Amino acid sequence: MLTAVNSIANNGIMMAPRLTVGESREEGRPISAETAKTITNMMVSAVKINVLADIKGYDVAGKTGTAMVPDFDKGGYRDSYINTFIGFAPAYDPKFSILVRIDEPEGNPLAGASVIPPFKELAEFILSYYGVAPDNIR
């Protein structure tokens, strides 16, 4: 998921995944720069409308996901969920991306209340720690 979203953040260019700072290797262009910008705009709009992941002074691109957990023994789905939030910031000159996933959150099936708060807290920390200048003074 991070490789796909990072391709959007990187204007449609897919880079080889890595966990540390270092040399990057281009793997191809799965989407056009124009499509990547359109999707980024949509992700920024989703964050601004929902406001839970919005960070004052920054355009943040993000998307929640809520998936039902399959029941491989009985077929169908169990009464539990997997919640995700994936995003990057600053949206139009990204410095980092984050994926937060919680399997079967207790008592809270919606991603907005379970995975967005840790995403926002980590994103705010990274922006502050690395001194990333605000990109959207509102």
Give the tens place of pLDDT for each residue, 32-80: 999 999 999 999 999 999 899 999 999 999 999 999 999 999 999 998 8
Can you give the pLDDT at residue 111?
84
Can you give the pLDDT at residue 138?
59
Portion of the chain with pLDDT greater than 70, in percent: 98
pLDDT tens digits, one per residue of 113-137: 899 999 999 999 999 999 999 998 7
Can you give the pLDDT at residue 136?
82
Contact assessment for residue 84 and residue 64, using Cβ atoms and an 8 Å cutoff: yes
Give the separation between CA 138 and CA 132, rounded to whole angstroms: 16
Rounded to whole angstroms, what are the CA distances from 15 to 2, 18, 90, 99, 112? 11, 9, 18, 17, 29
